């Protein structure tokens, strides 16, 4: 586990309430990364919760965890299904960190998909923040054998839930590990009575490459602030938090056909967050059509935009890049010149 995750979490959590855009509450790892890291993944119901009697450290950075005022506890779990590995028993004990804040807090009577690792006291959550996902009890993975497919079946079953939290989690989880073929399962929730569920569905469809929604989201986010509420209302969005989620969703667009739209939008808006999210999508897609704009943004007056453009081009060039804290002064000029040379060499090779 990464040793510096606690300060990062504190900064993110206190800055503003996090928009709904991921299945995990705070994004350190993705579901796929956790599946790869975790020896045991299972679905189970919490039967009982007790204080942990042992005083030894269970998690990394235990001293940092204490500042949240919580403590380690153990939960008795009735295993419903195995996604990866083996539980060894139909009822198991799992250690978790119980605290307010960005943590996976297990609650009696609720069902979770748990990502577990071994400790000296038995099984514990792989990560105190990203160790579990609340899901609907029942269902199952059927005849699936691959862990990722089993996870998808469990999340698909949770789309039947009447619980708003479970629905949002299932929608975002499917967007993370699914494919464009998953969109038909999610699109009905664009009409859901809950704005949070609708927002999760919008974020999911953006991630899964829904062209119509990408276009609408871009048009809303680059419009003048006073016009946004009326435009967002067309998508069923009314609050500031859900508009933030729409903006966050622009950072995970995967449809390559959207590249020209994203490039044009960056040129048309001065909204700092919107520009940053659009660049994040261009970074992930690494499409050569975005290179001229990214080169221009290297010298943008906004240092954050400039750094994101630098990182995007560095990834496309397959070269290491400096951290944002040292991307300044002479180092920044040298890095920009290096990428401009790469672009010219790349262009000349195309005409050889």
Q: Where are the beta strands (DSSP E) in 229-345?
A: none
Across residues 70-91, what is the average pLDDT? 89
Q: In this predicted model, which residue has the larger pLDDT, 348 or 116? A: 116
241-269 residue pLDDT tens:
666 777 877 888 877 888 888 999 999 88
73 has a pLDDT exceeding 80: yes
- The mean predicted confidence, pLDDT, of the chain is 80
Report pLDDT for 135: 93
- Structural domains in the chain, CATH included, are 5-49+71-135 (2.40.50.120), 179-285 (no CATH), 290-352 (no CATH)
139-167 residue pLDDT tens:
877 778 899 899 999 999 999 999 999 99
Report pLDDT for 113: 93
At a CB cut-off of 8 Å and minimum separation 6, what does 12 contact?
18, 26, 102
> Taking Cα atoms as reference points, which of 296, 292, 262 lies closest to residue 277?
262
Long-range contacts of 116-122 (CB under 8 A, 24+ apart): 116/38, 116/39, 116/40, 116/41, 116/42, 116/85, 117/37, 117/38, 117/39, 117/40, 118/39, 119/58, 119/95, 120/56, 121/52, 121/54, 121/56, 121/58, 121/74, 121/95, 122/92, 122/93, 122/94, 122/95
Across residues 81-93, what is the average pLDDT? 91
Report pLDDT for 292: 94
Say if residues 334 and 321 touch (Cβ distance below 8 Å).
no
Band (pLDDT 50/70/90 cuts) for residue 44 is very high
> Taking Cα atoms as reference points, which of 113, 201, 114, 183 lies closest to residue 155?
113
What gap in Å lies between CA 185 and CA 171, rounded to an integer?
9
Q: What are phi and psi of 71, to 5 degrees?
A: -155, 160
> Taking Cα atoms as reference points, which of 326, 292, 334 lies closest to residue 309?
292
Report pLDDT for 100: 59
């Amino acid at each position: 586990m990464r040793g510096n995750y606690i300060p990062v979490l504190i900064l993110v959590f206190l800055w503003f309430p996090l928009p709904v855009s991921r299945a995990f509450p705070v994004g350190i790892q993705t579901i796929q990364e956790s599946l790869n890291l975790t020896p045991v993944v299972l679905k189970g119901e919490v039967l009982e919760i007790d204080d942990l009697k042992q005083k030894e450290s269970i998690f990394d950075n235990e001293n940092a965890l204490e500042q949240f005022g919580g403590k380690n506890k153990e939960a008795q779990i009735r295993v419903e299904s195995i996604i990866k590995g083996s539980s060894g028993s139909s009822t198991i004990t799992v250690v978790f960190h119980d605290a307010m804040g960005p943590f996976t807090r297990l609650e009696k009577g609720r069902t979770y998909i748990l990502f577990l690792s071994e400790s000296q006291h038995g099984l514990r959550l792989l990560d105190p923040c990203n160790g579990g996902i609340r899901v609907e009890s029942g269902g199952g993975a059927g005849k699936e054998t691959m862990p990722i497919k089993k996870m998808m079946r469990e999340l698909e079953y949770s789309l039947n839930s009447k619980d708003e939290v479970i629905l949002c989690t299932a929608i975002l989880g499917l967007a993370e590990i699914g494919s464009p073929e998953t969109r038909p399962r999610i699109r009905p929730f664009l009409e859901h009575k809950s704005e949070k569920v609708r927002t999760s569905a919008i974020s999911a469809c953006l991630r899964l490459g829904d062209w119509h929604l990408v276009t609408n989201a871009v048009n809303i986010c680059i419009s003048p602030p006073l016009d946004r509420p009326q435009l967002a209302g067309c998508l069923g969005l009314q609050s500031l938090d859900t508009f933030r989620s729409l903006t966050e969703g622009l950072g995970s667009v995967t449809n390559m056909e959207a590249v020209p739209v994203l490039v044009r939008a960056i040129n048309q808006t001065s909204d700092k967050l919107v520009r940053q999210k659009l660049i994040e999508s261009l970074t992930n897609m690494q499409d050569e059509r975005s290179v001229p704009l990214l080169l221009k943004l290297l010298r943008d007056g906004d240092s954050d935009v400039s750094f994101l453009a630098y990182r995007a081009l560095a990834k496309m060039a397959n070269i290491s890049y400096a951290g944002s804290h040292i991307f300044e002064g002479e180092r920044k000029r040298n890095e920009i010149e290096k990428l401009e040379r790469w672009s010219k060499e790349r262009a000349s090779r195309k005409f050889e």
